[in-house]
Structure 1
Amino acid sequence: MPNFRLWLTAVIACRIFSSALSQMEHCDICTCEVDKKVLLLNCSGVKTRPGDYFGFIRQPNPDIYDHYTFDTIEANFESNRIKKLTRLSLLGISALSLARNEIAAIDSGTFLELKTLKTLSLKNNKLETVNQKSFQGLSDLEVLDLSENMLKKLSPGIFTFLKSLRTLSLSHNMIESLDGKVFAIPTLQTLDISRNSINGIGLDIFENADNLITLNLSSNKLSTVDKFMFASVETFDLSFNKIATVEPHAFSNLKSLKWLSLSRNNLTEVALQELGDNLKNLRLQELHVQRNYLQTLEVNGSRLKVLNVSSNVVTSFPTAGYTALEALDLSHNQLHSVPTGLTGLQMPALRWLNLDNNPITDVRFPIAGKEEQDGEIFVNLTWVSLSHMGDVQKLAAGAFSGEFLMPMSQPQILSLARSAV
């Protein structure tokens, strides 16, 4: 009986192994399998065959996989130490990854035969420059990843042949300035230029980018926010720059803007006065200005739902005009008292409030509009944090009970961790 069990186990293991091999087979120097009529061609980390030239891409012989039934090919040539790209000939390919190689140049016409390609990754290579002919033939390309390279300059017209491009990543490069109509791509929706060394942006850089929705310019060296000309952007990230000045009407054309981050910059009260005027007529719903040098903030954001002003030097916070605000973070500032107007009619939608790490000594919530809405103060507030307040000496009688918090529609959370109460 033990021998029979051993035999049965061996048979089952062989069948499982055979099944796995039938799903993924060797195709010349690669492995391949078909999933939902897509041929997945994995040629990453392959060894050089006799006769191969070192540093060039090693393509499998198409005869090896022509017995498969598939509609398209997705090919992976990552980590092959490829140094130079010459013309590729993978017919029917829709996705190609050449990431994590040593590619320093792309010959003109390299992708000319890949007319069905929709996704191309050249991430983490050694590209120092690309030109207009580098992407010739890729009229159907929708996603292009050029991140983590050594690009220093983008010439106008380099993306001219990319008539269908929707997503472009240029993050983690060495780009210092943007000039000319580099991004004149009407189909472009998402653009990531974060983590470069950009210190200036030309006024016409985004001309004709009429469908741009998401723009990431974070972690650069911008010191001034000039007037942006696109009206379609909904998400705009300018965090981790050196912005100290916001030019008049810098955001006035961004009529669709919903999410904006200016966190971790050098903004002061003076700069924010103009920012407030810029945002007055926008559809902005979420604003992040944490880790700046703000003493106060007056945005008049009647449509704002989320506002993060944490880690500044705020000593006062005017509460008028925030009728839609649901979440407010005022932690790590210099507030000595709870701002008047955090309750009642001025902020009727407020649900989440963080006042951690402020030198508040006497916690009380002054009621604004009590006579108009008596008994419905803080009706939506469900989370309050007053943690890490070493200067708190007392909670005012009734500060979190009775008319101050009733009636409450949902359970509440109150945090007083590491406070001196």
Structure 2
Amino acid sequence: MGARSRELFLLLAVCAVSHSLVANKTQKDSVSPNALVDQYEDYGDDQEVLFNEDRPCPRDCICTLYQGYKIAKCNRLEVNTQKFGDDITDLVVENADPGMSIQLTDNIFKKLGLHKIATVKIVNSTIDFVSPSAFHGLSELYAVNLSNNKLKSLHPETFANNKKLLLLTLANNPLKFPEYGSDKYFLNATTVQELDISYCNMKYITANTFENMPGLMYLNVAGNNLSDMDPDTFKKLLDLEELDLSDNNIKSLPDDIFSENNELATLHIQRNPIESVYGLNISDLLTLNAGQTNIKFVGPSMFNGMKFIANLNLSGNNMEKIHNQAFHKLVELNYLDLSYNNLTFISSILIKENIELDIFKISNNPLLRHLPVEGFNCSAEQFNIYLFDASNCGLEEIYDNSLKTFTALSVINLSGNNIKSLNNKVFSVCPKLVEVNLADNMLTTLDVKVFEKNNELGKLYLQGNPLKVLSAEVFIHTPLLTWLDMSNTELTSLWKTNKNHPETLLSNLTFLNVSQNHITEIKQNQLDTLNRLRSLDISNNPLVCNREFENLMTWLSKRKVSPDANTARIANLATDAKEEDEPYSWEFLTLKTCGKATVHPVEPLPAVSDEEIWERIDEDAEGNFDLKNTLDDGKVADSKADGKPNDGKVDSDNFDDADDADDEADDEDEDDEEEDDDDASEDYDDGDDDVDLKVKLLEKSSSTPKPSTESPDKEIGVKMAINLLENDSTYDLEREVYVGASVEEEHGRYDYLWPILIAILGALLLLIVIAKVVMVVCGRRNKQIRYNSAIIAAMSNAGRTKKDCGLVYQQLSEELTGPATPKLSRYQPLPSVTVASNMSYESSPFHHSNIVPEAV
């Protein structure tokens, strides 16, 4: 009794424990967010809360893991209602509710549990107050972004204790800075290397503004409406490498303002009313961005103090003249931008000494009419320039030798000029050209040899030219061309081709745009060599719905070529092209052009006489004759009901009449021939999935009489009707060929000789096959009788049971076929492998007990 009581007690205890576990799990799964917040409030500031599955993300936040970093993205920040995991490394607060401003109080980030925070980003919100100790205790903090928060003031010692802080962004805040004549500093942040205080309403920079930020390497003070600076402003920033003074009101810079900044490599002064940079001494300056200033003239000595400039931008300055030796001392120049000025002339020796120049831009100088006739002189004979931009310059002509020193040129942009013709020698000196832009000029045609030496050309832009006609021979010398834009021209046809054009013509072209032209017809054979075409834009052309158009649609659909236009429309000129909600596709274009969405037309089959058909039958009389291939090899045609020749053309009306007549004649015999038709169609489907060929021999008299010497009343004719059927859902092509044949007695007995012989030979072959089958069946029947007799004899022996019948089969097999060969049963189980019961998981050689997760 005692043992049973103990067992009952243990059973009750197990049930109680199981019930409690289930209840705890249910309570855990159904806990509310407010309850989780209450749980967080129980943790003290010194307690460590890990970010894992058991510690959910705080309210109004989304916690994610990106490349090993734990990021919390929130739309509000409150101490009393939020508690973060101790392993959160990045905090992002964006677009917080303007009605609920953020206050960064004392030690706010430590109170939120963000002890190990590395980056803080609070942007596009409202910060009313920042305590001097708000960021204290964050020993791992290296980046802070408080831009666009309407922040008005910041205590100078706010980041004094953050010794790892490197990046500080305070842009777009109405901050207060030390006033003119003050000896105060802006911030005490000795470790900060990058500071962005652009668009912060800074009026003046004193000598002490950045006194306690000696480690600055990047300083952005753009957009502050600065008009003046102390000459000693940057002298304490010995590590300064990049300075952005753009979008201010600076009219001049003191000559020695950067005398101590030996590391300064990049200077941005664009969009300032600066008239000259003459006298500035920046020995190691590499990049000078002086665009959109008031520099009207560039003299020969303007850059004497900046001899190692590699990138020079003087665009948008309304310059009218440049001295022909202005850049001769800039021997390291790689990039020169003179665009958006009023230059009327460019000297041939302007860049003579800049042999390292890679990019040269003179675009958008509308008064520039010509390039140097003999090209740009080079002290090293040839330049390394790979990009030359002379677009929108009013150029009227490109001389034969204007580019003769640009042999390394890869990209040239001559768009937006008034060029009327191009000699075939213009680009012959640039064999490495990859991209040529001739858009929006006055070209009416192109010489067939204009790109004869440009075998590497990949992109060609010709849109916006009044091209009347274009020969395909232009592209014979550009086998690598992949992009061709001829939109918005005056072409009436795609291009003119001859029968001798190579099969590789435009074989690598993937994009072709001929939209907004006057093209009425595009033939499929014009695109046959475009094997890699993926995008074709033929929108806004007065295309005519005819056989060529339907063939083109079929070709494009089978090649899976994209229309490459989202809102373009194709319609006849007689119809009004309205905005449609239907997707732009070849089916849609066919519907707009032809009034029906047919994209799989079939070429009409050429005519063939009945004598030719019988000759083909005679040629294959040995047994290889295939009526389906004979009728489907492109040489079977339609003979009209009136007996007139078809001339290889398809008459849809005659097709419809023939279909109706055949349907009425076949309705009577439909039930009798249904099974035969199904079998025939299955056989043909095996050969070709896209073509359904049905052949019916109809005994009808031809409507065309044939003269005969025996009897003029007797007639012979062969009527063939080819019906083209379209599947409405898939637009797949189906061919149905109905062949009606009526042969009268006037053929004579010899006309039937070959068919009779074929029939006799077929009958003999069939008899031989049947005899062979009968012999095989009889042989198997004799073997079965022998097996049955042996079984009966074996069962009749004394002492033999039914389970021993297998021995009888074995004996018979050995007698008939020889000794039995032992075989391994395919269903016999493999020997099982057992594991000792005393081997535990811990003792397994594959147990990695020493592997621990990588520390974050």
Structure 1 residue 356: Cα displacement: 0.7
In the alignment, which residue of structure 2 is the partner of 1:28?
A: 105
Aligned mates of 2:354, 2:154 — CA distance in 1: 50
SS in 2 for 1:399: helix
One-letter amino acid of the counterpart of residue 56, structure 2: I
Task: Kindly state the Cα deviation for residue 84 of structure 1 after the two structures are TM-superposed.
Answer: 6.1
Q: Which has the higher contact order (CA 8 A, sep 6+)?
A: 1
Q: Distance in 1 between matches of 2:355 and 2:157?
A: 47
Question: Aligned equivalents of 1:399 and 1:113: distance in 2?
Answer: 68
Among the aligned pairs, what percent are the same residue? Answer: 23
Q: How far is 1:10 from its partner?
A: 4.5
Distance in 2, matches of 1:5 and 1:266, equals: 78
**Inter-CA distance 59–169: structure 2 relative to 1 (3 Å threshold):** farther
2:390 counterpart letter in structure 1: V
The reply on whether 1:220 has 2:293 as its aligned counterpart is yes
Q: Which moved more, 1:324-333 or 1:177-186?
A: 177-186
1:131 CA drift (Å): 2.4
Show the counterpart of 2:484. 414
Distance in 1 between residues matched to 2:386 and 2:233, nearest whole Å: 39
Mean alpha-carbon deviation: is it higher for 96-105 or for 13-22? 13-22
Structure 1 residues 307, 7: closer, same or farther in 2, change over 3 A? Answer: same
Matched to 1:347, the amino acid is C
Q: Map 1:195-274 to 2 at 5 A.
A: 195-201=271-277, 203-205=278-280, 207=281, 209-226=282-299, 227-229=302-304, 230-269=306-345, 272-273=346-347
Q: What letter corresponds to residue 126 of structure 2 in structure 1? A: G
**Structure 1 match to 2:368:** 294
Describe the SS at the equivalent of 1:398.
Answer: helix
- Work out the CA distance in 2 between the residues paired with 1:277 and 1:309: 15
Alpha-carbon RMSD: 3.2
* CA shift for structure 1 position 258: 1.1
Q: Which amino acid aligns with 1:214?
A: T
Task: Specify which structure has the higher proportion of strand.
Answer: 1
CA drift at 1:296: 1.7
- For the pair shown, which has the larger CA radius of gyration, 1 or 2? 2
After superposition, the C-alpha distances for 1:352-402 in whole angstroms (9 at most, x for unaligned) are: 00111111122115569xxxxxxx721111111111112x2222572222x
Tell me how far apart the structure 2 counterparts of residues 210 and 152 of structure 1 sit (CA, whole Å).
25
2:810 alignment partner in structure 1: none
Amino acid at match of 2:435: W
Task: Kindly state the Cα deviation for residue 12 of structure 1 after the two structures are TM-superposed.
Answer: 8.9
Q: Which runs of 4+ in 1 moved over 6 A?
A: 4-7, 32-37
Tell me how far 1:152 sits from its aligned partner: 1.3
Determine whether 1:8 maps to 2:92.
Answer: no
Aligned with 1:137 (options 212, 233, 237): 212
Contact 2:449 2:474 in 1 (8 A): no
SS in 1 for 2:168: strand
| Partner residue, 1:357 | 440
Matches for 1:20-419 after TM superposition, within 5 Å:
20=72, 21-22=84-85, 23=88, 24=91, 28=105, 31=109, 38=118, 40=120, 42=122, 45-48=126-129, 58-61=130-133, 65-66=136-137, 68-70=138-140, 72-79=141-148, 81=150, 87-91=156-160, 92=163, 93-103=165-175, 105-106=177-178, 107-111=182-186, 113-184=188-259, 185-201=261-277, 203-205=278-280, 207=281, 209-226=282-299, 227-229=302-304, 230-269=306-345, 272-273=346-347, 276-292=349-365, 293-298=367-372, 299-300=376-377, 302-317=383-398, 318-344=402-428, 346-364=429-447, 366=449, 377-390=453-466, 392-396=467-471, 398-401=473-476, 404-405=477-478, 408=479, 410-419=480-489
Equivalent position SS for 1:414: strand
Q: CA deviation at 1:177?
A: 2.4
Partner Cα distance (1:170, 1:221) in 2: 15
Partner residue in 1 for 2:656: none
Q: 1:69 to 1:381 in 2, by over 3 A?
A: same
Give the Å deviation of 1:338.
1.6
Which TM-score applies when normalising by structure 1? 0.81
Per mean C-alpha deviation after superposition, the further-off stretch among 246-255 and 96-105 is 96-105
Larger deviation: 184-193 or 225-234? 225-234
Tell whether the 8 Å contact from 2:445 to 2:469 is kept in structure 1 after alignment: yes
Question: Relative to 1, partners in 2 of residues 1:158 and 1:364: Cα closer, same or farther, differing over 3 Å?
Answer: same
User: Matches of 2:427 and 2:246 in 1, distance apart?
Assistant: 43
In the alignment, is the contact (CA less than 8 A) between 1:88 and 1:111 conserved in 2? no
TM normalised by structure 2 equals: 0.42
**Offset of 1:273 from its aligned partner?**
0.9
Which digits, 9 at most, give the CA deviation of each residue in 1:214-240, with x for residues without a partner? 221112222112331223222221111
Deviates more, 1:298-307 or 1:161-170: 298-307
- 1:178 match: secondary structure: coil
User: In the alignment, is the contact (CA less than 8 A) between 1:252 and 1:282 conserved in 2?
Assistant: no
Q: What is the rounded CA distance, in whole Å, between the counterparts of 2:31 and 2:415 in structure 1?
A: 63
Q: Following the alignment from structure 2 to structure 1, what is the Cα–Cα distance between the partners of residues 266 and 56?
A: 44
54, 57, 64: which is aligned to 1:17? 57
User: For residues 181-219 of structure 1, what are the alpha-carbon distances to aligned partners after superposition, in whole Å with 9 as ceiling and x for unaligned?
Assistant: 223321012211112222222x221x1x23222221112
How far apart are the structure 2 equivalents of 1:237 and 1:81?
A: 34
Closer, same or farther: CA 365–297 of 1 in aligned 2, 3 Å:
farther
Shift of 1:9: 6.0
The amino acid across from 1:258 in the alignment is N
Supply the AA of the counterpart residue of 2:415.
S
Alignment correspondent of 1:52: none
Contact kept, 8 Å, 2:286 with 2:309, in 1: the verdict is yes
1:311 Cα deviation from its structure 2 partner: 0.5
Distance change (3 Å), C-alpha of 1:166 and 1:236? same
Q: CA, structure 1 residues 154+315, in 2 after alignment: closer, same or farther (shift >3 Å)?
A: farther
The 8 Å contact of residues 143 and 166 in structure 1, kept in 2 or not, is answered as yes
SS at structure 2 position matched to 1:212: coil
Q: What runs of 5+ residues in structure 2 fail to find an aligned partner?
A: 1-21, 37-54, 64-71, 73-83, 93-102, 492-856
Contact kept in structure 2, 1:86 and 1:110, CA below 8 Å: no
Contact 2:448-2:473 within 8 A present in 1 as well: no
CA contact (8 A) 2:177 2:186 kept: no
Q: Deviations over 1:9-67 (max 9, x none)?
A: 6569953324752235996366578798735375973224xxxxxxxxx33426x742x
User: Counting helix residues as a fraction of each chain, which structure ranks higher?
Assistant: 2
Mapped contact 1:45–1:80 kept (Cα < 8 A): yes
Q: 1-side partners of 2:448 and 2:183: how far apart? A: 68
Closer, same or farther: CA 89–137 of 1 in aligned 2, 3 Å: same
